[in-house]
Amino acid sequence: MKSATRVTLLTFGVLMGLAGIEHGIGEILQGSIAPSGLIFPSWPGSAFFSIVGGEPAMTIVPNLLVTGILAILFSSAFAVWACLFAARKNAARVLILLSGAMLLVGGGIFPPIIGFMLGILATRINAPFKWRRAHSSATLWHLPANIWPWAFGVCVIAWLLLFPGINILGYFFGVNNPPYTVMVILFALASLLVTVFTGFAQDIERMEK
């Protein structure tokens, strides 16, 4: 059985990789031109992405076509590594390096930041949690361990509501409410933190059995 931590990393690693690929596609479609600045919109003029400011990204490459290609390559590599190789030695280091590459070559702002957090999370896959197990009772972790499947499901829904949810609401239904967008972002981040914590609890309880 895969650890809850690994399932969380796999799921959100793929989601962040896909988000980086989406930025890359927008950059490729702009053609072989220079970006408007260090930080620029991946989808300028797109009504679907207008609610999120055209999907900001940054690049150190002075060509959007090349930037987009690199964004897709590094984002794809991040998703594949998170999905297939996250439990390997030095996997966390690779994920962190790929997140940095995504950030510098147009993979967006948010996906690489979450990717960096996932790289740190990768260090805890199959971790023994010896300190927590030695200084707390098994019953302490029972409730959060049971919550994990629900927290994980809510977290996935929250991130899908963030994208493409708010884009769909804005494009098809004219819902453009900045406070609502901020609320969804905060809820998605909070639910991810709860999912990580309860995932640790489930892994600890699994090791006790």
Per-residue model confidence (pLDDT) at position 129: 57
Per-residue model confidence (pLDDT) at position 128: 59
Per-residue model confidence (pLDDT) at position 45: 93
β-partners of residue 41 are 56
Per-residue model confidence (pLDDT) at position 86: 86
- Around Cβ 157, how many Cβ atoms within 10 Å? 14
Per-residue model confidence (pLDDT) at position 75: 98
> Distance between CA 158 and CA 55 in Å, rounded?
18
Per-residue model confidence (pLDDT) at position 89: 82
H-only helix segments in the chain: 4-29, 64-84, 91-104, 110-121, 130-135, 142-160, 166-173, 178-208
Which residues, in sequence order, are CB contacts of 113 under 8 Å at separation 6+? 99, 103
Taken as a whole, the chain contains a residue count of: 209
Nearest to 8 by CA among 186, 112, 151: 151
> Distance between CA 185 and CA 202 in Å, rounded?
26
> Distance between CA 12 and CA 192 in Å, rounded?
9
Q: Extract the residue ranges of the chain whose pLDDT is less than 50.
A: 133
Structure tokens given for 142: 């029972």
Per-residue model confidence (pLDDT) at position 62: 97
Per-residue model confidence (pLDDT) at position 43: 98
DSSP H or E stretch at residue 39: strand 39-41
- Residue spans of the domains in the chain: they are 1-127, 128-209
Per-residue model confidence (pLDDT) at position 34: 98
Per-residue model confidence (pLDDT) at position 191: 97
Angle between helices 64-84 and 91-104 (to 10 degrees): 160
CB 161 within 8 A of CB 184: yes
Per-residue model confidence (pLDDT) at position 90: 87
Query: Tokens 């640790």 belong to which residue?
Result: 200
Per-residue model confidence (pLDDT) at position 206: 77
